Amino acid sequence: MANDDSPERARSAARPAREPLSRDHIIDAAIASVDERGLPALTMRSLGQRLGVEAMSLYRYVNGREDLLEGMVGRLVQELRVDPRGDEHFPTDGWQAYLQSLAVGARRLAHAHPSLFPLIATRHPSAPWLRPPLRSLEVVEDFLVALISRGLSDESAVAAYRAFSSFLLGHLLLEVATLGASTAPVEETLDEGDAEVPDNDLPLSDFPQTQRLQPLLEADHADAEFELALEHLLDRLDALVSQ
């Protein structure tokens, strides 16, 4: 409620405004940077600049670039947590409802951070049984608690974790990859240089079926496709559970 003109604020604004450095703050800035400018543009130096600091200062809070990336992935994955006891939108309706809410959350995350989702998908998990994109102990624990408390057996819950991970990874990475093609930071269309790059852009007419079906192939059913595949997965799990 402090007035913007309060002396404290005015004084601190005298030198370039900058919040105190911290690991959390650095990770926030890094995520924002990648969202805005893509992963290759994230540099220790550029990140320092964004924070009003020299690059070397970051090393007090972050063990190098790799550790920074790990921190970013960790932070994003935490956003996947859904109260396993259910909330106002998805009460304790059954495990299907829980998986549904987790799925839409993961999809929202992927869409919100298309340049970062590949990182979540491909960086080596810290334990071999932590499967992307549900790659944190907290998220896995929530998952297991939610399903077991809703009546699934241990084996079913673990099988569901496996199947659900693959499902999310495949669908969301695919959405993000094709979506990324248009969203990607516009790398100025470099005009081919003079290397003898093979004419990889063969005329589409050499591929008659592909050409003929192009309208079908181009149609974007991402939403419906995701919903449908999720329903099928739930059906499959349902068969597994009640057998």
Provide the minimum distance between the beta carbon of 191 and DNA in the complex, in angstroms, as a whole number.
Answer: 11
Provide the minimum distance between the beta carbon of 155 and its own copies in the complex, in angstroms, as a whole number.
Answer: 7
Contact 96/123 with Cβ under 8 angstroms? no
Question: Is residue 141 near its own copies by the rule CB under 8 A?
Answer: yes
Choose the binding region for its own copies from 11-19, 47-55, 105-113, 134-142 (rule: CB under 8 A). 134-142
Residues 188-207 that bind its own copies (CB under 8 A): 190, 192-193, 195-198, 200-202, 204, 206-207
Burial class (CB in 10 A: 0-12, 13-18, 19+), 159: middle
Provide the minimum distance between the beta carbon of 27 and DNA in the complex, in angstroms, as a whole number.
Answer: 14
Number of residues this chain uses to bind its own copies (CB under 8 A): 76
Residues 192-231 that bind DNA (CB under 7 A): 193
Question: Is residue 85 near its own copies by the rule CB under 8 A?
Answer: no
Residue type at position 117: F
Rg (alpha carbons) of the chain, rounded to whole number: 23
Of positions 39, 53, 130, 158, contacts DNA by CB under 7 A = 53
Q: How far apart are CA 216 and CA 9, in angstroms?
A: 58
Q: Is the dihedral of CA 142, 227, 77, 126 positive or negative?
A: positive
Question: Is residue 54 near DNA by the rule CB under 7 A?
Answer: yes
Nearer to DNA, 66 or 141 (CB): 66
Question: Is residue 43 near its own copies by the rule CB under 8 A?
Answer: no
Question: Is residue 20 near DNA by the rule CB under 7 A?
Answer: yes
Question: Is residue 43 near DNA by the rule CB under 7 A?
Answer: yes
Q: How far is CA 168 from the centre of its chain?
A: 11
* 43 binding partner (options its own copies, DNA, none; Cβ < 5 to 8 Å by kind): DNA
Footprint of DNA on this chain (CB under 7 A)?
20-21, 42-46, 48, 53-57, 59-60, 64-66, 193
